[in-house]
Amino acid sequence: MTPPEPRDAAEARRTARPAARPEPRPWTLWTASAADVHDVAVFQTETWREAYRDVVDPAYLAAVGVPERVASWGLRIASPARHVVVARVPDAAGHASGADARGEVAGVVSWAHGDLRHDPFDLDLVELTTLYVGAAHRGSGLADALLQEALGDGAAYLWAFERNARALAFYARHGFVADGTRKLDVPTGAWERRLVRPARPAPGVG
């Protein structure tokens, strides 16, 4: 017969819990300016090389780095047609880090109105053009906050890589569905799906 487990040991076993995930560091959202261009370019380069290594052509990830992204983000942030918001967080000790006193970049979102003159695949809706969150902040709610900041509850569309299962699941959770339109993103060599979401009713309506 197995002897009874000591009470203290049994209690410890019952109350033991897996190590808690560290609380996410708080973020602050900032309308992007020229001062953010370099930091956002570094952030996107690092995020793409980590998150998209199995999604897009590795040669593209290796070839396109900070200088190329500085050029593209400079144009985006300067454009009156593009809205860009950056999420920054303090370092682990709660202090600002790096050259920017607002902290390090944890995420970025941008949006604009679709322009059929620029791309025949565009729609006459708000397009979510960018939404990136650093690996350390996935699951923290930051992606939800950035999406809400950009779109609210309005109708919108976006393009997502077909092989990016995590992004497709995220957008499905927020009411986006594929409308059957797809195109090849030539620079990356990856196919994209167009996802569309109708406007959401106001609380208490419907």
Q: What is the pLDDT of residues 154-181, one digit of tens each?
A: 999 999 999 999 999 999 999 999 999 9
The average confidence (pLDDT) of the chain is 86
Q: pTM for this one?
A: 0.81
Residue 197 has pLDDT above 80, yes or no: yes
E strand or H helix at 10, and its extent? helix 7-15
pLDDT at 88: 96
Rounded CA separation 160/171 (Å): 9
CA distance 74 to 181: 30
Strand segments, DSSP code E, in the chain are: 28-31, 83-89, 104-113, 126-133, 156-161, 177-185, 190-197
CATH numbers and ranges of domains, the chain:
25-197 (3.40.630.30)
pLDDT of 177: 98
8 A C-beta contact, residue 74 and residue 37: yes
Confirm if 107 and 87 have CB atoms less than 8 A apart. yes
